[in-house]
Amino acid sequence: MKNYKITLIKGDGIGPEIIDEAVKVLDAVASLCDFHFNYDEALMGGVAYDITGDPLPQETITKSLQSDAVLFGAIGGPKWDDLPREKRPESGLLRFRKELGVYANLRPAVVYDELINASSLKPEIIKGVDIMVVRELIGGIYFGEPKGRTDEKGWNTMVYTRDEIVRIAHQAFRIAQKRDKRVCSIDKANVLDVSQLWRDVVTEVSAEYPDVELTHMYVDNAAMQLVLNPKQFDVMLTGNIFGDILSDEASMLCGSIGLLPSASVGEKIGVYEPIHGSAPDIAGQGIANPIATIASASMMLRYALGEVEAADKVDAAIKKTLSEGYRTGDLAQFDAKEVCSTSEIGSIIANYIEK
Ligand code: IPM
Ligand code: MG
């Protein structure tokens, strides 16, 4: 029997609650598909700081690199907001991404027909939306030097090298080849030199993919087009901060940020995590939506482990749960037959996994 080693990083806030539900679903699908998971927990974020004084202990990196994949919940919260920047949970996450070399963050935004009324946009605008945001994750203004602050001045630098743009562009084109074969590259080339380089390099790389159509769009226009006519997009290729912003926007096309999964991949290992944060305001109440994390676990099955059949089963079980009208509180107003707790939704999805 195949045995997969998974590092679980539950993190802060609702992180532990949503990871527990993903594990429930993973175990259900594993027992049906004849493989097995060995989980190993590791610390990151505020909880890691509280216990070890470091938001990213070295042990977490070591464990992660030794496993087949990492499933991650969320980090951060007001408790740690006043710490010096390098001690903050977010700094741990950024260092983690960098150390693991996960440069490509894939964030699918797919509208479930079952939740067509949950979006703030009209059903005819969003029906059939299926976007993949391919976000560069370990460069750009998040990591650029110089950066710093005094009492009078704060500064960060948006830097991209040719190599960084080339590798993320290849990812976007390869993904587009398996989808609708359209890449829209997002930048601010009318103002930023770094964006002009981005645009030029993406255009060069596109020559290797004659079957994929490439367009370019300024990020401000893209923010508008996403709500005006989201169906025009197939793959959106973005730098780090533009992708951070646009993927939150794209999530609202789908009705709740509690639905959107992501995969962060590179040469070594993949990290699978919901796109939402740790939601400290609702932590510990058992009302968080675990679907984004369960869908991230499905991406892990599909991309990291090659267990495509198992991933399909999880996706089908999520869809069935929604079409039967089971909802967490964030989606309670939208065609809910029954409002459920975090763990009830996890159990329903686990039970709906088909043989
Ligand atoms: C995300 C989050 C992170 C980011 C934060 C928590 C550092 O917003 O994964 O989108 O900005 O990348
Ligand atoms: Mg974000």
Q: Do 56 and 105 contact (CB within 8 A), yes or no?
A: no
Identity of residue 3: N
Give me the chain's average pLDDT, please.
Answer: 97
Phi, psi (5° rounding) for residue 72? -125, 140
Helix (H, G, I), strand (E, B) or coil at 258: helix
CA-closest residue to ligand 1 atom 11: 244
Phi, psi (5° rounding) for residue 333? -80, -5
**246 CA → ligand 2 middle, Å:** 9
Residue 335 clears pLDDT 90, i.e. is over it? no
Pick the CATH number of 130-253 from 3.40.1710.10, 3.40.50.300, 3.30.1490.20, 3.40.718.10: 3.40.718.10
CA dist list (Å): 161 to 137, 168, 198, 343: 13, 11, 9, 44
Map tokens 């869908």 to a residue: 295
Residue 291, judged by CB atoms within 10 A of its CB (0-12, 13-18, 19+), counts as: buried
Hey, which residues are catalytic here? 142, 188, 220, 244, 248
Cα separation, 149 vs 156, in Å, equals: 9
**105 CA → ligand 2 middle, Å:** 11
Instruction: Supply the pLDDT for residue 104.
Output: 98
Domain boundaries, the chain: 1-105+257-355, 130-253
**2 CA → ligand 2 middle, Å:** 34
pTM: 0.94
Residue 153 clears pLDDT 90, i.e. is over it? yes
Instruction: Supply the pLDDT for residue 1.
Output: 86
Instruction: Supply the pLDDT for residue 293.
Output: 98
Residue 131 clears pLDDT 90, i.e. is over it? yes
* Residue 293 neighbours by CB distance under 10 Å: 32
> Is 1-105+257-355 CATH 3.40.718.10?
yes
Residue 198: name the closest of 164, 246, 234, 157 by CA.
Answer: 164
CA-closest residue to ligand 1 atom 9: 275
Computed from CA positions of residues 11, 15, 17, 23, in that sequence, does the dihedral angle turn out positive or negative?
negative
Residue 210 clears pLDDT 90, i.e. is over it? yes
231-267 pLDDT tens trace: 999 999 999 999 999 999 998 899 888 999 999 999 9
Query: pLDDT: is 252 or 100 the higher one?
Result: 100
* Residue 86 neighbours by CB distance under 10 Å: 11
Cα separation, 251 vs 111, in Å, equals: 9
